[in-house]
A and B are shown apart, each in its own frame.
Chain A
Amino acid sequence: MSSRQRRSFLQLAAAMPAWTAGAGLAGLSSRVWAGPVTDTRFLLVFLRGGYDAMSLLVPASSSFYKETRPNIAVPLASAGQTAGATRLNSPGQTAGATRLNSDWALHPAMDNSLLPLVQTGQARFIPFAGIDDPSRSHFETQDAIELGQQRGASRDFGSGFMNRLAMQLGARNAIAFSSQMPTCLRGQMAVANVSLKAAPPSARGGAAPLQEALKAMYQDTPLQARVAESFEVRSQVAQEMSAMTGEMEAANRGAITAKGFELEARRIARLMRERYALGFVDVGGWDTHINQGAGTGYLASRFEELGTGLAAFAAEIGPATWRKTTVVVVSEFGRTARENGNRGTDHGHGSVYWVLGGGLSAEQGVGPVVGEQVRIEASTLNQNRDLPVLNDYRSVLGGLFARQYGLSAKAIDSIFPGAKPQDLRLL
């Protein structure tokens, strides 16, 4: 090599970005965890697209509901009718929502999945839930919910509330079950991610044989911890999935019957049972502007798939872990109270959030539907359009986390700055 070439190289090296000079990030470590530091589990399920909450939790006592949705109101099961029974006899047309109390009924697509959990105190609903963001934009409200920061204050788009929760718990075993890192898990704590929608990659495939060289190349770069983690997670996932597939094949005499979200939910349950304390998964397909259906139809089949998946999650994670597990289902907003010109609904405001778990409180007076509520009429609508938000999700989740983890008010404030935790006695 000529001296000119050598000089060139040295100068070029000096011109690389600052991090290449050896600056690591103090908050990141390459350590990956063998098991949960806390024995409780929390899974956030985000329904992207703004699901039509009034089709899931039907306002049974509201005549306005039926009037304003002539084609898409979910019918109620007739009095005395047993949930599920009707559908077995004559599926389809007569499917009706089962009453949970005097005000609310549950969509019939949930008869065989979510309803049994509700009836045994393992699932509850929080209507009029959501965020005070008024934009009705999918992206704005999803981001705002996932960031969980104070509205109107300057926001840090690199810090999601679940990452801050992980920080407070010191839980390094948080994971997003998605191919992209969701906003809510972005932040200082290194978080793993893997999509389980399709069969996960094998532990020895691709670049895995080169992992030591790759880790060495990333030494002292900001990506060092993530690179180490990527190989660790891959090997863990491969191990668990192989075990699960084996068990399922044995149970089903060689056939894997679960598919779609149910299979994904079972994989998630398996990994959370063994290794992860905090999890996130998102489910799409809820932006029903056109022809959403009522007791049956497009939205009903989405509900059925979701309910079946969550019930499978509860079963797969096992009774012992399920008792220490909380699952919260959220969506960016509810939809318009009135049906639109296309037998669908448009972007709205207040939604219905769900809380599931094997250890939900059995306290007196905590029914299947909790939180602030109001009768749904034209006069109680938000901007004469959609449902108001009476239960701010930051307050609800703040209260839930305080119960689940015994976190101090100060700790909750660092997760949801400025929020007032609301104790719904869910746990």
Chain B
Amino acid sequence: MDVQTLKPIASQRLPCAPRRKALFGLGSVALLPLLKLAGCSTVGASNSHSLSALPGPNSAPSAEQAAAAYRFVNRLSWGARPVDVQRCLQIGQVAYLREQLQPAAVALPEAVQAQIDRLSIQQPTPAERYAAAEKPRKTSTEEVDLDKRKLEQEAYQREMTRQGQEAMTRAVLRALYSPAQLQEQMVWFWFNHFNVHLFKSQIRLLLADYEEQALRPHALGSFRAMLGAVARSPAMLLYLDNAQNGVGRINENYARELLELHTLGVEGGYTQKDVQELARVLTGHGVNFSPNSPKLKPEWQALYQRDGFYEFNPARHDFGDKLLLGKIIRGRGAAELDEVLDLLAAHPATARFVSRKLAMALLMDEPPAELVEAMSRAFRADAMTTVLQVLASSPLFSAAQSSKFKDPVHYVLSALRSAYPDTLILDTAPVRLWLNTLGQGLYNRPTPDGYPLVASAWNSSGQLAARFDVARAIGGGAANLFKPADGPAPMAARVMPTLMGTVPSASGQGIQSLGLPANPMPALRPATIAALQAAKSTTDRNTLYLAAPEFMFR
């Protein structure tokens, strides 16, 4: 086999840059009806830049630059595609990072946005959606016929599940196609940090708004603001049982996790007494799904607060003074919580705990203490952009030796971004299934600690076997991705991935780069190259590429 006989895997791809097609002499476009991402808006982090600005072959970067850019982008994103690496090489790492840290002006590709806009979770208000879902359950409690009651209960469960799945679809589409890749990674990071579980009580109905309102606006912004938004989110108040926490009926669950998992960390220097005092501060912060507010004594009416399903009910609040972390909190109502959150957000233990976790998520399992310290200092400014700036500016961030084993979410998303860089998937169901199979289902971590961030949690033999199966499914052109979940029959059965950019040359001495300035994976070991060369079919070659040890790390 020589270079010429290595058939492009995806001759049907319609690349953004027409000249690339000419360059490869790609064949017929058999699958035109599949949605292509509009224009080239995914190329850079801003629509004002276009592929036409790509450097010609004469200004190609050095191999070291290309490899460093690949690693840099791969850490900032859900998987570096050739165009992303190209963009980084073109404008440099500093400017690339700046774009990623200020994604306000960045729009999703039109076709992706249109798909998201069609989701019901994007449309009516949370209250309307909740009421619609609750309707069959309400009727069911009045229903005398037990069979009918059962059917209505099932309809209620189905509607909740449907809304939960829509939230997953939105997350997958954004992660795969948003040019603001760092923002998308941070939304995932924060959800995992402030984890709630899909299947607890009615959280499926609250998930979409929780992510959208409590986390996303602050993902690159103020930790304190996010902490406050989470503390007044119905999803968290239900998940950690604070909706049940009232004076004389103390429930410590949220108080404990707020200290242990959300802010100070388990070694952050608090005591059981602090947990109990914080639980008292949290009394009365709860959830009210009814449009009506409770009847209150006149002196309490002014203290009552309501925002959507969130409510602060002074009748359930412990108005005594509290002593938390050595500070006296004067009992006065909802404002106590804000005072405490100020205290926690500004605590040095919080800065260290959150900074270390962030470095673990994006960089390596055991980040060096000096880096964590530098990030912790930046944390004081209460802007995640400055913390991320410190992290991404570390030489380790584009260094080879700090490679990080991908967790299943990162693995699946990066495989899809590599396989289908410019073809819009029409159904996220296979992605959701793969993630559940790999043990990291979206919104599906039952415990508040969130999914582990270290390799040892994800690289056991059983998990690797499951991962290889996913590589096979994607490598074989997972047809289900391209069948609309509820639309007309698909136009094409299979869409084979575009992993051709990295197929090694037959001589085994290099990579047929196919004109790309940097391959999606810049360095393949000889054993991997040999396996790819020996592959008997396109499916096998794709599978091996996605299952290769190099692809497991970033």
Binding site for B on A (CB under 8 A): 1, 4-9, 11-18, 20, 48, 134-140, 157-158, 176, 179-181, 186, 190-195, 201, 205-207, 210, 213-214, 216-221, 223, 226-227, 229-231, 233-234, 284, 289-290, 340-342, 346-347, 383
Starting from the known contacts A17-B400, A140-B260, A210-B543, 11 additional A-B residue pairs (CB-CB under 8 Å) come to A17-B401, A18-B401, A206-B473, A207-B465, A207-B472, A214-B544, A217-B531, A230-B462, A231-B465, A233-B462, A346-B252
- Given the complex of chains A and B, what is the CA–CA distance between A176 and B461 in angstroms? 10
Contacts of A230 in B (CB 8 A): 461-462, 464-465, 468
Among A9, A135, A220, the most chain B Cβ lie within 10 Å of the Cβ of A9
- Given the complex of chains A and B, what is the CA–CA distance between A230 and B464 in angstroms? 7
- Given the complex of chains A and B, what is the CA–CA distance between A9 and B518 in angstroms? 10
Interface assignment of B63: CB less than 8 Å from any CB of chain A: yes
Q: Mark B252-296, 1 if CB is under 8 A from A, else 0.
A: 110010001100001000001000000000000000000000000
* Interface pair A289/B251, CB less than 8 Å apart: yes
* Interface pair B543/A207, CB less than 8 Å apart: yes
Q: Contacting A6 at CB < 8 Å: which of B509, B527, B528, B547?
A: B509
* Interface pair A341/B509, CB less than 8 Å apart: no
In the complex, how many angstroms separate the beta carbon of B139 from the nearest chain A beta carbon?
24
* Interface pair A226/B244, CB less than 8 Å apart: no
Interface assignment of B3: CB less than 8 Å from any CB of chain A: yes
Among B41-49, B153-161, B182-190, B452-460, which stretch is in contact with chain A?
A: B452-460
- Closest chain A residue, CB of each to CB of B60: A4
- Given the complex of chains A and B, what is the CA–CA distance between A220 and B523 in angstroms? 16
- Given the complex of chains A and B, what is the CA–CA distance between A191 and B511 in angstroms? 36
Contacts of B456 in A (CB 8 A): 158, 181, 186
**A-B interface pairs (CB < 8 A), number:** 199
Among B261, B527, B543, B552, the most chain A Cβ lie within 10 Å of the Cβ of B527
Contacts of B272 in A (CB 8 A): 134, 136, 383
* Interface pair A15/B457, CB less than 8 Å apart: no
* Interface pair A341/B244, CB less than 8 Å apart: yes
* Interface pair A1/B468, CB less than 8 Å apart: no
- Closest chain B residue, CB of each to CB of A285: B446
Given A213-B531, A217-B531 in contact, is the A12-B523 Cβ separation under 8 Å?
yes
Q: Contacting A138 at CB < 8 Å: which of B447, B457, B550?
A: B447
* Interface pair A16/B523, CB less than 8 Å apart: yes
List the 3 shortest-distance A-B pairs measured between CB atoms, nearest first.
Answer: A341-B249, A206-B469, A207-B468
* Interface pair A229/B461, CB less than 8 Å apart: yes
Interface assignment of B553: CB less than 8 Å from any CB of chain A: yes
Given A223-B464, A226-B464, A383-B272 in contact, is the A217-B548 Cβ separation under 8 Å?
yes
Interface assignment of B250: CB less than 8 Å from any CB of chain A: yes
Given A16-B523, A230-B462 in contact, is the A217-B253 Cβ separation under 8 Å?
no
Contacts of B534 in A (CB 8 A): 213
- Given the complex of chains A and B, what is the CA–CA distance between A11 and B62 in angstroms? 10
Interface assignment of B207: CB less than 8 Å from any CB of chain A: no
- Given the complex of chains A and B, what is the CA–CA distance between A216 and B533 in angstroms? 13
Given A15-B67, A136-B256 in contact, is the A206-B468 Cβ separation under 8 Å?
yes
* Interface pair B400/A16, CB less than 8 Å apart: yes
- Closest chain B residue, CB of each to CB of A289: B241
* Interface pair A176/B527, CB less than 8 Å apart: no
Contacts of A4 in B (CB 8 A): 60
Taking CB atoms and an 8 Å cut-off, the chain B residues in 509-554 that contact chain A are 509-513, 522-525, 527-528, 530-531, 534-535, 540, 543-544, 547-550, 552-553
- Closest chain A residue, CB of each to CB of B530: A216
Given A5-B510, A136-B256, A217-B544 in contact, is the A15-B249 Cβ separation under 8 Å?
no
Contacts of B464 in A (CB 8 A): 223, 226-227, 230
Q: Contacting A207 at CB < 8 Å: which of B60, B469, B528?
A: B469
Interface assignment of B355: CB less than 8 Å from any CB of chain A: no
In the complex, how many angstroms separate the beta carbon of B435 from the nearest chain A beta carbon?
12
* Interface pair B449/A210, CB less than 8 Å apart: no
* Interface pair A1/B507, CB less than 8 Å apart: yes
Taking CB atoms and an 8 Å cut-off, the chain B residues in 184-221 that contact chain A are none
Taking CB atoms and an 8 Å cut-off, the chain B residues in 224-257 that contact chain A are 241, 244, 246, 248-253, 256
Q: Contacting A15 at CB < 8 Å: which of B400, B437, B439?
A: B400
In the complex, how many angstroms separate the beta carbon of B3 from the nearest chain A beta carbon?
7
* Interface pair A8/B66, CB less than 8 Å apart: yes
* Interface pair B461/A180, CB less than 8 Å apart: no
Binding site for A on B (CB under 8 A): 3, 60, 62-64, 66-67, 241, 244, 246, 248-253, 256, 260-261, 266, 272, 400-401, 403, 437-439, 446-449, 454, 456-466, 468-469, 471-473, 505, 507, 509-513, 522-525, 527-528, 530-531, 534-535, 540, 543-544, 547-550, 552-553
**Could you name 15 residue pairs across A and B whose Cβ atoms are closer than 8 Å?**
A9-B510, A16-B400, A20-B549, A138-B447, A138-B449, A140-B260, A176-B460, A179-B466, A216-B530, A220-B527, A227-B461, A230-B462, A234-B465, A341-B244, A342-B249
- Given the complex of chains A and B, what is the CA–CA distance between A272 and B465 in angstroms? 21
- Given the complex of chains A and B, what is the CA–CA distance between A246 and B66 in angstroms? 56
Contacts of B448 in A (CB 8 A): 139
- Closest chain B residue, CB of each to CB of A177: B462
* Interface pair B253/A346, CB less than 8 Å apart: yes
Q: Contacting A12 at CB < 8 Å: which of B63, B253, B437?
A: B63
Contacts of A48 in B (CB 8 A): 447
Contacts of B401 in A (CB 8 A): 17-18
- Given the complex of chains A and B, what is the CA–CA distance between A234 and B469 in angstroms? 12
* Interface pair A219/B540, CB less than 8 Å apart: no
Among B400, B462, B466, B510, the most chain A Cβ lie within 10 Å of the Cβ of B462
Contacts of B509 in A (CB 8 A): 1, 6, 9
Given A1-B509, A135-B266, A181-B457 in contact, is the A13-B524 Cβ separation under 8 Å?
yes
Contacts of A217 in B (CB 8 A): 525, 527-528, 531, 544, 547-549
- Given the complex of chains A and B, what is the CA–CA distance between A220 and B255 in angstroms? 47
- Closest chain B residue, CB of each to CB of A12: B523
- Given the complex of chains A and B, what is the CA–CA distance between A90 and B459 in angstroms? 51
In the complex, how many angstroms separate the beta carbon of B542 from the nearest chain A beta carbon?
11
* Interface pair B253/A289, CB less than 8 Å apart: yes
Contacts of A18 in B (CB 8 A): 401
* Interface pair A221/B244, CB less than 8 Å apart: no
- Given the complex of chains A and B, what is the CA–CA distance between A135 and B268 in angstroms? 12
- Given the complex of chains A and B, what is the CA–CA distance between A289 and B242 in angstroms? 11
Q: Contacting A5 at CB < 8 Å: which of B511, B530, B549?
A: B511
Contacts of B253 in A (CB 8 A): 289, 346
Given A11-B64, A179-B462 in contact, is the A219-B249 Cβ separation under 8 Å?
no
- Closest chain B residue, CB of each to CB of A191: B460
Given A207-B468, A216-B531, A227-B461 in contact, is the A140-B266 Cβ separation under 8 Å?
yes
- Closest chain B residue, CB of each to CB of A179: B439
- Given the complex of chains A and B, what is the CA–CA distance between A186 and B62 in angstroms? 41
* Interface pair A13/B523, CB less than 8 Å apart: yes
* Interface pair A181/B531, CB less than 8 Å apart: no
* Interface pair A8/B465, CB less than 8 Å apart: no
* Interface pair B468/A214, CB less than 8 Å apart: yes
- Given the complex of chains A and B, what is the CA–CA distance between A186 and B535 in angstroms? 34
* Interface pair A1/B512, CB less than 8 Å apart: yes
* Interface pair A214/B449, CB less than 8 Å apart: no
* Interface pair B463/A181, CB less than 8 Å apart: yes
- Closest chain A residue, CB of each to CB of B472: A207
- Given the complex of chains A and B, what is the CA–CA distance between A284 and B446 in angstroms? 9
* Interface pair A181/B471, CB less than 8 Å apart: no
- Given the complex of chains A and B, what is the CA–CA distance between A401 and B454 in angstroms? 30
Contacts of B241 in A (CB 8 A): 289-290
- Closest chain A residue, CB of each to CB of B548: A217
In the complex, how many angstroms separate the beta carbon of A357 from the nearest chain B beta carbon?
27
Contacts of A7 in B (CB 8 A): 63
* Interface pair B252/A180, CB less than 8 Å apart: no
- Given the complex of chains A and B, what is the CA–CA distance between A11 and B400 in angstroms? 12
- Given the complex of chains A and B, what is the CA–CA distance between A384 and B448 in angstroms? 27
